[in-house]
Chains A and B, each alone.
Chain A
């Protein structure tokens, strides 16, 4: 399905390294993927596996101490080679971002209408009344009732769901080509989560915006994503269509993640827990399969010495050879 679609953003060998006590550690390590026109591309993984660092790298929101290598190709240009000013003009105009925490993402002292208007003032030359009308249209689009009242409200006067709709309206204001949603539903309660997710998905379909959805919630992914990349310790370990990942998961990490979802079918069984934790940035073993430490009951020989991301089926990529031998039951017994 992916072959016949246009590539919107092509990310090649992207690495993001943070400086800790004088040395740089890669939080995003050699990530390569294409984002197609109008697709919902989900990136999943545990906390600390580099999802947000990746999102901020694509947006160009890291500060100067962070070393970013590789290329982000958009409209035949490499964003990574642009100067700050060129990059700034793309933000908010071609690339919109939705943040995790809708209360803190908005300036507490500024009326929400003004905060949406700010984007329009930066990137367009509309007159003031045109901007005001556009703000009202945007509030309509993100499903806010009483928009004339809401524009004059301050963030703290709105509910979490409403605030997130405002954040979405800000991201959408200039009809961007790409939207990056960094855990947009994590801070919201379950009923609102579904609404916001539906909204992001509908807007993507309506405006053919390519959307990168970052989440640790596989339920969210299953609902809306077209393709999924599973990240572990800064690398993509498996990538494929939603069917590839959910019906035919291959990498031990993906299989373990899917097994960790509470499920009403296995009533009497203990919930599967992945042993150990994601290694911290300084402690990632940069050689060999990064997930090997958390696989029990298997011989180390199943791993590749230098694991590569390979296309094992059309459009389905898996890193390392260990998936061939991995047996989750065996891992669980130990």
Chain B
């Protein structure tokens, strides 16, 4: 098992190298340049001033050299300086990352705690009114885009009812002088609306997967064998059928974890939640290339890690998948 993980990690390295090339040169191709931004309000700027700014960001060097410099820095954890914030990109991302992670984990918990029971029970009572209601719910969550549900939630629970805050990740006064518990409470209070929006909309896949798998497994021969053994229906359902039905979910779980970060862009923007999703969008609008590059690289690493996590999960739950 350890060998398998190690080997998978080693395979990731060349993939990462390729990703870094693509990421760097794609963002190079983006229009915009920091000197233009800094000197936007100064049409009278001299050529020397522009050159000075370009020199500061190594923009005067040829692309290959810039790539090598960037790669060296990245390997040391230095993603360069932001054009707009004038500080280290790594530090900027770190702050937002926690928020996004918190939002992602909460929506993951919501997704599983709604999705698993709905999937399990709709399959158990296949064809019943409950099952058909769940199918209707699935149809709804699949067709409603997150920005529509997000705005509705925001309007109804945030504005009309006023139950939840409509922006931010924590109450600023609590952030400055609250106890740990107060801070956690405020964070949860702020995360509920965006987490529900993201969580509810991602239940579709999990319900559909589970329901189909369970219905498929119900008719399998080994279930018949278990009945022929005289096993009770409850145990047949809860052990034999469910265990086999959760297999495909473990194979997508890793990608869900990636999806948290990548998919948070819209949710965070709607709820003005200061995570990396919203930050990413802002950085693109500001043409802040170092931030964009850093974040895309970070998400690429996450995608690779997500598939690694999925592989490890599959190997550990399905004895049929060989690792050597």
A residues near B, CB below 8 A? 59, 61, 88-93, 96-97, 99, 101, 104-109, 118-119, 122-123, 154, 156, 167, 170-171
Q: Does B41 contact A (CB under 8 A)?
A: no
B residues near A, CB below 8 A? 220-222, 224-232, 240, 243-244, 247, 317-320
Instruction: For the A-B complex with A97-B225, A108-B222, A154-B319 known, give 13 more contacts whose Cβ atoms are closer than 8 Å.
Output: A61-B227, A88-B230, A88-B232, A97-B228, A104-B222, A105-B221, A105-B225, A107-B226, A107-B240, A109-B247, A122-B229, A156-B319, A170-B229
10 contacts between A and B (CB under 8 A): A59-B228, A89-B230, A91-B229, A93-B230, A99-B228, A108-B318, A108-B320, A118-B231, A122-B231, A170-B229
Q: Is there an interface contact between B319 and A61, defined as CB atoms closer than 8 Å?
A: no
Q: Is there an interface contact between B230 and A61, defined as CB atoms closer than 8 Å?
A: no
Of chain B, the residue at the smallest CB distance from A90 is: B230
A92 to B231, CA, bound (A): 8
Nearest CB in chain A: distance from B244 CB, A:
6
Task: List, in ascending order, chain B residues with CB within 8 A of A89's CB.
Answer: 230
A118 to B230, CA, bound (A): 10
Task: List, in ascending order, chain B residues with CB within 8 A of A109's CB.
Answer: 243-244, 247, 317-319
Nearest CB in chain B: distance from A89 CB, A:
6
Q: Is there an interface contact between A107 and B224, defined as CB atoms closer than 8 Å?
A: no
Nearest CB in chain B: distance from A66 CB, A:
14
Q: Is there an interface contact between B229 and A99, defined as CB atoms closer than 8 Å?
A: no
Task: List, in ascending order, chain A residues with CB within 8 A of B318's CB.
Answer: 108-109
A194 to B317, CA, bound (A): 36
A106 to B222, CA, bound (A): 5
Task: List, in ascending order, chain B residues with CB within 8 A of A99's CB.
Answer: 221, 224-225, 228
Closest 8 CB pairs of A and B: A92-B230, A104-B221, A91-B230, A92-B229, A97-B228, A107-B222, A154-B319, A119-B229
A61 CB contact (under 8 Å) in B224, B244, B247, B317:
B224
Task: List, in ascending order, chain B residues with CB within 8 A of A119's CB.
Answer: 229-230
Nearest CB in chain B: distance from A323 CB, A:
37
Of chain A, the residue at the smallest CB distance from B225 is: A105
Nearest CB in chain B: distance from A298 CB, A:
41
A154 to B240, CA, bound (A): 14
A106 to B229, CA, bound (A): 12
Q: Is the interface of A mostly helix, strand, loop or mixed?
A: mixed
Nearest CB in chain A: distance from B264 CB, A:
34
A96 to B320, CA, bound (A): 28
Task: List, in ascending order, chain B residues with CB within 8 A of A61's CB.
Answer: 224, 227-228
Task: List, in ascending order, chain B residues with CB within 8 A of A96's CB.
Answer: 228
Of chain B, the residue at the smallest CB distance from A118 is: B229
A105 CB contact (under 8 Å) in B224, B232, B247:
B224
Of chain A, the residue at the smallest CB distance from B318 is: A109
Q: Is there an interface contact between A154 and B228, defined as CB atoms closer than 8 Å?
A: no
Nearest CB in chain B: distance from A163 CB, A:
11
Nearest CB in chain B: distance from A293 CB, A:
33
Nearest CB in chain B: distance from A132 CB, A:
17
A237 to B318, CA, bound (A): 47
Nearest CB in chain B: distance from A214 CB, A:
14
A60 to B131, CA, bound (A): 27
Task: List, in ascending order, chain B residues with CB within 8 A of A104's CB.
Answer: 220-222
Q: Is there an interface contact between B319 and A108, defined as CB atoms closer than 8 Å?
A: yes
Of chain B, the residue at the smallest CB distance from A89 is: B230
A109 to B241, CA, bound (A): 11
Task: List, in ascending order, chain A residues with CB within 8 A of B244's CB.
Answer: 107-109
A99 to B222, CA, bound (A): 10
Nearest CB in chain B: distance from A318 CB, A:
33
A101 to B318, CA, bound (A): 21
Of chain A, the residue at the smallest CB distance from B220 is: A104
User: Do A118 and B226 contact each other (CB < 8 Å), given the known contacts A108-B319, A154-B320, A156-B319?
Assistant: yes
Of chain B, the residue at the smallest CB distance from A122 is: B230
Task: List, in ascending order, chain B residues with CB within 8 A of A106's CB.
Answer: 222, 225
Task: List, in ascending order, chain A residues with CB within 8 A of B230's CB.
Answer: 88-93, 119, 122-123
Of chain A, the residue at the smallest CB distance from B320 is: A156
Of chain A, the residue at the smallest CB distance from B228 is: A97
A88 to B318, CA, bound (A): 30
Q: Is there an interface contact between A101 and B231, defined as CB atoms closer than 8 Å?
A: no
Task: List, in ascending order, chain B residues with CB within 8 A of A118's CB.
Answer: 226, 229, 231
A100 to B320, CA, bound (A): 22
Task: List, in ascending order, chain A residues with CB within 8 A of B227's CB.
Answer: 61, 91
Task: List, in ascending order, chain B residues with CB within 8 A of A101's CB.
Answer: 221
Q: Is there an interface contact between A92 and B320, defined as CB atoms closer than 8 Å?
A: no
A195 to B244, CA, bound (A): 32
